[in-house]
Structure 1
Amino acid sequence: MKRLPLLLLLVLCSLLAEKSQAQVTLTGTIVDKENGLVLPYASITNKTTGRRSYSDKGGFYKISAKKGDMVVFGFLGYNPDSLVVSAETGTETREIHLVVESRQLHGVEVTTKYTPYQLDSINRRDQFGYILDNPNKPLAGGSTPVGAGIVFSPFTRYSRKEKQKREFKKIYAKAEKDKYIDSRYTPLFVSRVTSLKGDSLKLFMMENYPDYDTLRMMPTEDLMYWITDKYKAWKKK
């Protein structure tokens, strides 16, 4: 009879340990809050465990967690969002709605070390570095050796994630270029050069959006001349 309390204690400890280690599969889709469109290759980070993942081409995501874990969702050009896992076991399904961040940066002032664009770029690099620093691996097919008796390429099972990773890198590179253009070709700057306001300013900027490579090689003074020439031609239309 003296051993019974000890056995019960051991059983209770085992159950408590099992409960504390129970895994939850957090899953769902990540969408644009305004129009409901899915957001492919968004980042999902379990801040509690450090585990990371990203959504597939259809905006579907899945990540392992436990009750109480904080999970953060991010996508290029959107404000991040987070949630705390509430389920104890099994699957918890949550649809995530992200809001577009302001496209134009807060001016073109230069700090003691970095411009606003550079600071934003550094933050984005920190957020998505775990994907960007992951080198590209061979895809199934192509130069993969195939011989008699070989049914599956050794890389086949990784091809889907590899393609997603490569697609994300393309999206990221384009987003960085757009961010750079928006950091220099701002409504405030263009308005000062052209005196345009409101809808006229928006229309002019939309119809005369500069090329990234050209803008990279163009100092501010040359950009002013470029905008002036475009404005003169635009007024004649």
Structure 2
Amino acid sequence: MNTKGIVTFLLVSCCSMLMLAVRVQAQVTVTGSIVDKDNRLVLPYASIFNKSTGKRTYSDKGGFYKIAANARDIIVFSFIGYKSDSITVSQVTGTETREIALVIEAKQLHGVEVNSRYTPYQADSLERREKFGYILDLPNHKLAGDNTPQGAGIVFSPFTRYSRKEKQKREFKKIYAKAEMQKYIDSRFTPLFVSRVTSLKGDSLTHFMQDNYPDYNMLRELNQEDFIYWITDKYKAWAKKK
């Protein structure tokens, strides 16, 4: 290689290294908290997805999150039972702090009518399962202290380092399962359906439903006819007290 070729090679190498350094320095840390817009309560284990890079994480127990991004990246925030929201990263470097306030999804008033393939509840459930499958499909691993060897000479447990994330994952699965149960109840125990059975309206209907919210396991075993009888019996007892 002659002198001119060596100089050209060095210039190209320097430019490449400079461009790589700029890209590394340009990374932004997007951080903040995720809350319920109406009551300002924090939302733990919410999904934070960088749509531009494919990276994903979730908020901690206090609703705080942190994710790496670049300028103009789109970050999507999701939580069970809430409408997803997104932001576009505006900074070029450093830390960008953004509080995210998610809006709860309105409860659907439809009953259990079946469409061509799925009931509305089934369709919603499949959509939720697809959205949060990235964490629901992860197997549970041992936590620190779960059959971890103890005694002299043990310097580091392979589970201790990841216990925090493992606990968060397990907690999310519990939250998801509880939300699915509630959504199933709400898909059958709707104001429209209960009003048809009891003829209650307005505040009376609301109070009756609050006082007689059905159990998930019981409701799973009841067909629609038996469920109507159950509501009727509860209404008769409730009306006597009133």
| TM-score, with structure 2 as normaliser | 0.91
Write the deviation string for residues 128-173 of structure 1: whole angstroms up to 9, x where unpaired. Answer: 1011000000000131012312133221110001001001100100
3-state SS of the aligned residue for 2:132?
helix
* Equivalent position to 1:170, from 159, 168, 174: 174
Counterpart amino acid of 1:186? Answer: T
Write the deviation string for residues 27-67 of structure 1: whole angstroms up to 9, x where unpaired. Answer: 11101111111110101111112111100000010111111
In the other structure, the counterpart of 1:119 is 123
3-state SS of the aligned residue for 1:119?
helix
Q: In 2, distance between residues paired with 1:108 and 1:181?
A: 11
User: Contact conserved, 1:77 with 1:103, CA < 8 A, in 2?
Assistant: no
In the other structure, the counterpart of 1:77 is 81
3-state SS of the aligned residue for 2:43?
coil
In the other structure, the counterpart of 2:152 is 148
| TM-score, with structure 1 as normaliser | 0.93
3-state SS of the aligned residue for 1:144?
coil
Counterpart amino acid of 2:27? Answer: Q
Change (3 A) 1:105 1:90: farther
User: Contact conserved, 1:32 with 1:100, CA < 8 A, in 2?
Assistant: yes
3-state SS of the aligned residue for 1:100?
coil
In the other structure, the counterpart of 1:19 is 22
* Equivalent position to 2:224, from 216, 220, 223: 220
Query: More displaced, 198-207 or 138-147?
Result: 138-147
Task: Give me the CA root mean square deviation.
Answer: 2.0
User: Contact conserved, 1:40 with 1:56, CA < 8 A, in 2?
Assistant: yes
User: Contact conserved, 2:109 with 2:192, CA < 8 A, in 1?
Assistant: no
Percent sequence identity is 69
CA shift for structure 1 position 109 = 2.6
Q: In 1, distance between residues paired with 2:236 and 2:110?
A: 28
CA shift for structure 1 position 105 = 4.9
2:89 equivalent to 1:89:
no
Counterpart amino acid of 1:46? Answer: N
* Equivalent position to 1:184, from 150, 167, 188: 188
3-state SS of the aligned residue for 1:233?
helix
User: Contact conserved, 1:144 with 1:153, CA < 8 A, in 2?
Assistant: yes
In the other structure, the counterpart of 1:110 is 114
Query: More displaced, 140-149 or 194-203?
Result: 140-149
User: Any unmatched runs of 5+ in structure 2?
Assistant: none
In the other structure, the counterpart of 2:137 is 133
Q: In 2, distance between residues paired with 1:187 and 1:108?
A: 13
Q: In 1, distance between residues paired with 2:110 and 2:85?
A: 21
Q: In 1, distance between residues paired with 2:205 and 2:132?
A: 34
Write the deviation string for residues 63-96 of structure 1: whole angstroms up to 9, x where unpaired. Answer: 1111111110011111110011112122111110
In the other structure, the counterpart of 2:48 is 44
User: Contact conserved, 2:44 with 2:63, CA < 8 A, in 1?
Assistant: yes
Q: In 2, distance between residues paired with 1:186 and 1:225?
A: 15
3-state SS of the aligned residue for 1:40?
coil
Counterpart amino acid of 1:215? Answer: L
Change (3 A) 1:200 1:145: same
